[in-house]
Structure 1
Amino acid sequence: MSQGSAPGRQAVIEAPEASGNGRPRASSTPPPRFLARTFGSFEIVDRQTHSLVAIRSRKATALIAYLAVSPGQSITRDRATGLLWGDRGEEQARASLRQALTELRATTLGLAGALRVDRREIALVPGLVETELEELAGLATEGGLAQLTAAVDRADGRPLADLDGIDNDFNSWLLVERERKIGQLRTLLLDQVQSVQADEVAYGRPIIASLQRIDPADEVAARAGLELDSLAGDLAGLHRRYRALERTLKDEYDTVPSPQTQDVFRRLTAMRPVAATVAGPLTVAPTTFHPSPRQSGIEPPVVLVLPIELVGGDSEDMLLAQVCASEIETALGGVADLRVLSVPEPSIERLEAAQSSSISSYSLKGSMRPTGKSLHLTWRLVRLSDGMVAWSRKSSLGRFGLGEAMDDVVAQAAGAVMPVVERDLTHRIATGEQGAETAYSLYLRGRTISLSSSSLDHSREAAALFEQAVARDPNLVNAHLSLARLYNTDFHERIAGHDPMPLRKRAFDLYSHAARISPTSALARAGMGWCYMRRADLRQANAKFEEALELCPNHADCLNELGVAYTHMGDLDHAGDLLRRAFELNPFPPDEYFSDMGVLQLFLGDHDGAEGQFEVSRHEALHYRAFRLANRALMGSWPGMEQAADEVRAGFRGIWQGMLPMTDRNIYESVLLYSPIHHQAGRDLFRDGLIAAGLEIG
């Protein structure tokens, strides 16, 4: 989550009624020593030691929780015994209370003098403990949305989630208190997002997401989210939010969004272009005039997700079809190369609008035909410009284990869309269908050159065009990603023997910026992970790879990229799962998929299997050729091995830029620089294979 400043905001609010002691601290007052975390599991944090206060028993924990969140932060002894030990006799309850107080005095909390106990009352010393709500109110007053968003992300979850079942009276209090806490948080956060400006959208939307996780049926929060989606220009996100609300209200309450929410949705979606871009916290206003999407005809591809047609069936099957279509929208929504639009009621005007505002427009439609214990599904991806069926698929699934089977069907359909569009788009831009000279057209020209690049000059020409596109439109995510990939791969492995640090730094900056302007971009997170992996920061790398996988689990190219990363990190089982999944989802797997699987099988010791993958691929990238040479040598010598080794040497010599003549050792080091192998067994296997092939590694 972004934590930069949000310029220009003057946010001053009153704390919600009865949030702890009900008063946000003044900016000049140091924060209380203890923070009571009440959302999720209850915890007391000692801010001085940055540690959790250990409270062993649940009853003692419940007592402190009650004190922390109650007005006045006090309770009488009689109330405490009735609240926590109502099922016991009076003497036994009092003895249990004394035992709990003894435990609390033995904790860090007790030693700090925060607990005041007398013959009648138990209380927290004023000014020593504050709740998350008080902290949030203070942050909203002092720091604005940036700090508030980061804190809200930490304060997510059902209030006092671990304190159920303490006692009947406590459970009754807890039921009311949870609703009160949710209401206070909701009031605080909604107040803050009401006046969000365009440069603050990236902070406001995560706040709404937190509210909707707590209560997915909250229509006030949903309407605020729709307004923010519109302000961000994220039309696809706007549709996804509304459809998710529709589904929740139908599933939970068998109702539909209120007329007020429907009116907001219609107002925000009326007369808007199909293509939209997502704003971010580092938005930079372009200095050059850009034609509108309808003028330029050069916006990214758009996919219209149409309702699934139900052939026969009942109301339960109809609901299943609606859920399936919604899940596909969500699955496609994280793909930065596409604009996704839900079209519940397709019309000629809407289809024409999609064609006029995009370089390539498609409709994805499914049909579902129930037959007894099975469901038969058919998918068709149709290019709108000429009605050509770009991809189709049929599948059947039984009703037993339907949830898991449906997830797989959704993944197959969503995963196939991007490779099909990619293949079609590559053909169209190669034949000159580009349009006006906009940032996106510069990106497309660079992309065409990059895909067909056969020399360093070509790669540099593509990089120059991407740089122009980035300068012209700092929010064009695809240009950032393509340029970062060129720099992070040494212009597609066109140079060796150079200092890679300037290129690596530029790549990381581009990936980071792409992640900020498009928080749902899995490829941006994956690219950042690769940058960390090349720095040998495997903890950060793995965190970014996990984020990428969560953001877009059905993007075949991203899955392949993650599989390669885990191959180099030594998690070979996980790598195999990801690489195989990429094959399953991509109807047109490129050569590099086979080569990457070959490298994995090399590390697994399956040299015959690896050679089979390399043979199918015939990819000419130098690092693949080196891996294949090592693998074949580990299988034993063959008549052409010496010539193959010389060809690898010649390939690297052709791109060598070092001050000294290239050696065989440099080949090994260059491959590791490009494909960092972070497990010793893999490094040893690759090294032994090159030595067996005749290279003098040393």
Structure 2
Amino acid sequence: MTETAPAPSPSFTLSLLGRFELKGPHGLVGLPNKKLAGLLAYLACTSPQPQHREKLSTLLWGSHFEAQAKQNLRQALFKLRHVLGQSALRSDGEFISLDVAVVGCDILQFQELVENGHHEALSAATDLYRGPLVDDIGVNEQGWSEWLAGERERLSELAVGAMVALGESELSRGRASHALLAGQRANALNSMREDAHRLIMRALSAAGRNAEALKYHQAVATMLKRELGTGPDAATNALAAELRKVQEQKTAPATAEIAAEQAGPTIGSDKPSVAVLPFQNRGGDTEQEYFADGVTADIITALSRFRELVVIAAGSSFAFRDKAMTSQQIAQQLGAQYLLSGHIRQAGNRIRVSAELTHTGSEAQVWSSRYDRPLVDIFDLQDDVSSSVAAVVAPVVRSAEIERARRKPPTDLSAYDLYLRGLHHLWGGTREGVIKAIDLLRQSLSLDQQRTATLAALAWGLVMAPPLGATTSPDAAAEAIGLARRAVEEDGEDAFAHAVYGFTLFGPAGDNDQGRIHASEATRLNPSSAFAWGVLGMIDSMGGAYANAVQCLHRSLVLSPEDRMLHLWMTGLTASYFALGQHEEGVTWARKSVRHNPSNGTGHRMLAANLVGVGRLEEAREVTRMRDATQKTTIRDLRAMRFFKQHETLERYLSAQQTAGVAD
């Protein structure tokens, strides 16, 4: 028996989930207007079913006279055949259809994968769903608007169902973090779907976060009451009851767990270890003892969310509260390389918290600071101080470790040392630095291919290389996505990995919804991570949620005011202020951005755009002249970079660049 030859691949591929994109044998194909794109999208969505000419003309030209609408349709069909070839459109009298053998479309593939229902098919289907159907095509015709709204809702519900089914499959495979992400993505598309809420609750419980799952149920009940005037359905309430039983059965930690808590860091771990000694109360008020202990415990919790650190458990740290031992002796007992200590003093209606970090080997003070806060709500104050301290201590330890690695002989570098050296170059934000960082991080991975932080750092370097003017391989974007995905799979609780994965999905992959979900998960996993808040802010800045971007980016700057990534977060701020029309603020932050990193090309561009916005045209042109003396960027280049995802904002930005002297 002879085998049937596989069907030839279509000459054109059409992506409609998210932004409209048509690719041909020679790359992207542009269509001259939105209605032509809309016609092709409609024929692709309804293929291979033939569509009556009158229906097509009414759909896109219903507001015109009948004769003019028919003429417009004939012209549109002629133009499509000119672009796609004569065989792409089949005509049978008054009926027109698209030949799927010539033009392949993601809609048909998406529907087939969802119908398949197997794990791999569902995973592929959810990857295909990059956003609402043709979310960048606007056609002001009633017929089109009604069809598009209905089709978007149908496809969105298919996607939600696929995500929930995928999450259930992930749960059955014991991958709770993956199930949680599937549920969160489904919820982002439709917050009224209780099957998605139940998936999130089960995933949280499976990940050992049972109390959080119950708290989530309460939030769902509140939301449903507010939005629909009703409560969760019977299945959701039954699940909550099961989780309450689990919670009630939890008793004190087992003896083995207590022993593990009292132990020091794992022998052989190359991560730096930090112990937080109980903060001392120097105010004389015994009530402040509780506050001091609360701050200490919260700092330990906040620091433990930085996966790059080994943080000594609270039980071990508090055991040394009143012992007459030196810091050196305590460090030896705990096996800690760094000790964080401090004291708290109340004066009137204000609290002062002083903290210092010491390297136990050299007994050198690595960092110290103090925090003065008004004494208003004691719990809010405790959260504020602990998150602020943790946010600064983690990068300080990282910087100290980087300096240690840089002093080691090149012949004696471990995978961790190479990773640290790579970070030093990566955070500098220069073309030369990112090239060197990528090389060092690749060397590190060659020695340890499963280090989550290295996978994520290399992915970040590959994503940041093109904006910095560094040349990368054609498949660098795909490699970055793969590395970041591996990092999340290696450690689903790593905020840094989730933030990087979110940015790679949002940027190179163009999957706005899922990119933001991962970035939001990073801020939930580690609310003290300036990097996580910065990435979420950048995604919102480019994606159009400008007011939220400003909040997130300011949060990042407050958490880590000396961070080497400041120039990037400041660039996001100046971009958001440009989009909001607050150009004076944009100029201020753009100047800060380029002052922190003179190599920041996007920062210079945003400075020029905001200067145009306030009417200082000569200054804007001078910025462009200085920047283009070495880097001849054009409007075409900037359009391809697509810093702003929203069409109107992008066009306004490009117009400002033209006014500032950027060549076409």
- Pick the TM interval, shorter chain: 0.5 to 0.7
Partner residue, 2:279:
308
- Determine if the alignment matches structure 1 residue 319 to structure 2 residue 319: no
Which amino acid in 2 is paired with 1:219? T
User: Which aligned pairs between 1:515-554 and structure 2 lie closer than 5 A?
Assistant: 515-534=488-507, 535-554=509-528
Q: Distance in 2 between matches of 1:583 and 1:146?
A: 34
Partner residue, 2:392:
416
2:476 counterpart (489, 503, 512): 503
- Determine if the alignment matches structure 1 residue 668 to structure 2 residue 638: yes
2:405/2:417 contact within 8 Å kept: no
Q: CA deviation at 1:481?
A: 1.8
* Deviation string, structure 1 residues 462-488 (Cα, Å, up to 9, x no partner): 323312322322332221121011111
Q: Distance in 1 between matches of 2:648 and 2:554?
A: 22
Q: CA deviation at 1:314?
A: 6.4
Partner residue, 2:258:
265
Partner residue, 1:695:
662
* Deviation string, structure 1 residues 352-383 (Cα, Å, up to 9, x no partner): 3777x8xxx32112323356765443222223
Q: Which deviates the most, 445-454 or 506-515?
A: 445-454
Q: CA deviation at 1:324?
A: 2.0
User: Which aligned pairs between 1:58-457 and structure 2 lie closer than 5 A?
Assistant: 145-146=174-175, 152-153=202-203, 211=246, 214-215=247-248, 218-219=250-251, 222-223=253-254, 261=255, 264-266=257-259, 269-270=262-263, 272=264, 274=265, 292-293=268-269, 299-311=270-282, 316-342=287-313, 343-346=317-320, 348-352=328-332, 361-370=337-346, 375-397=351-373, 400-432=376-408, 436-451=412-427, 455=431
- Determine if the alignment matches structure 1 residue 486 to structure 2 residue 518: no
Describe the SS at the equivalent of 1:219. coil
Q: Distance in 1 between matches of 2:525 and 2:371?
A: 26
- Determine if the alignment matches structure 1 residue 680 to structure 2 residue 647: yes
Q: Which deviates the most, 404-413 or 613-622?
A: 613-622
Partner residue, 2:610:
631
Q: Distance in 2 between matches of 1:499 and 1:666?
A: 21
In terms of fraction of residues, the more helix-rich structure is: 2
Describe the SS at the equivalent of 2:340. strand
- Determine if the alignment matches structure 1 residue 648 to structure 2 residue 622: no
Say how many residue pairs are matched: 441
In structure 2, the CA distance between the partners of 1:649 and 1:147, relative to structure 1 (3 Å rule), is closer
Describe the SS at the equivalent of 1:380. strand
Higher relative contact order (CA 8 A, sep 6+): 1
2:530 counterpart (556, 566, 575): 556
Q: CA deviation at 1:683?
A: 1.0
The runs of 5 or more residues in structure 2 that have no matched partner are 1-114, 118-167, 180-198, 222-233
Q: CA deviation at 1:560?
A: 1.9
- Determine if the alignment matches structure 1 residue 514 to structure 2 residue 487: yes
2:281/2:345 contact within 8 Å kept: yes
- Determine if the alignment matches structure 1 residue 586 to structure 2 residue 586: no
Which amino acid in 2 is paired with 1:483? L
Partner residue, 1:465:
440
Describe the SS at the equivalent of 2:645. coil
Q: Distance in 2 between matches of 1:419 and 1:505?
A: 29
Q: CA deviation at 1:606?
A: 2.3
- Determine if the alignment matches structure 1 residue 598 to structure 2 residue 571: no
Q: CA deviation at 1:158?
A: 5.9
Q: CA deviation at 1:516?
A: 2.2
Partner residue, 2:587:
611
* Deviation string, structure 1 residues 558-601 (Cα, Å, up to 9, x no partner): 22222122111111221111111222222414450433322222
1:649/1:667 contact within 8 Å kept: no
Q: CA RMSD in A?
A: 4.0
Q: Distance in 2 between matches of 1:179 and 1:606?
A: 48
Q: Distance in 1 between matches of 2:492 and 2:540?
A: 23
Which amino acid in 2 is paired with 1:351? A
2:434/2:470 contact within 8 Å kept: no
Q: CA deviation at 1:436?
A: 3.5
Partner residue, 1:242:
none
Q: Distance in 2 between matches of 1:381 and 1:148?
A: 34
1:630/1:690 contact within 8 Å kept: yes
In structure 2, the CA distance between the partners of 1:364 and 1:669, relative to structure 1 (3 Å rule), is same
In structure 2, the CA distance between the partners of 1:585 and 1:311, relative to structure 1 (3 Å rule), is same
* Deviation string, structure 1 residues 58-82 (Cα, Å, up to 9, x no partner): xxxxxxxxxxxxxxxxxxxxxxxxx
Which amino acid in 1 is paired with 2:653? F
Which amino acid in 2 is paired with 1:505? A
Q: Distance in 2 between matches of 1:556 and 1:635?
A: 31
In structure 2, the CA distance between the partners of 1:587 and 1:383, relative to structure 1 (3 Å rule), is farther
Q: Distance in 2 between matches of 1:180 and 1:688?
A: 54
* Deviation string, structure 1 residues 239-274 (Cα, Å, up to 9, x no partner): xxxxxxxxxxxxxxxxxxxxxx3x64226644x5x3
Q: Distance in 1 between matches of 2:174 and 2:454?
A: 29
Which amino acid in 2 is paired with 1:493? L
In structure 2, the CA distance between the partners of 1:696 and 1:332, relative to structure 1 (3 Å rule), is same
Describe the SS at the equivalent of 2:361. coil
Q: Distance in 2 between matches of 1:579 and 1:453?
A: 18
In structure 2, the CA distance between the partners of 1:687 and 1:367, relative to structure 1 (3 Å rule), is same
2:435/2:470 contact within 8 Å kept: no
Which amino acid in 1 is paired with 2:601? L
2:426/2:437 contact within 8 Å kept: yes
Describe the SS at the equivalent of 2:312. strand
Q: Distance in 2 between matches of 1:569 and 1:557?
A: 18
Which amino acid in 2 is paired with 1:682? T
* Deviation string, structure 1 residues 615-660 (Cα, Å, up to 9, x no partner): 233232222222222222333355465554344345444xxxxxxx
Q: Distance in 2 between matches of 1:637 and 1:398?
A: 41
In structure 2, the CA distance between the partners of 1:387 and 1:499, relative to structure 1 (3 Å rule), is closer
Q: Distance in 1 between matches of 2:620 and 2:500?
A: 35
Q: CA deviation at 1:522?
A: 1.4
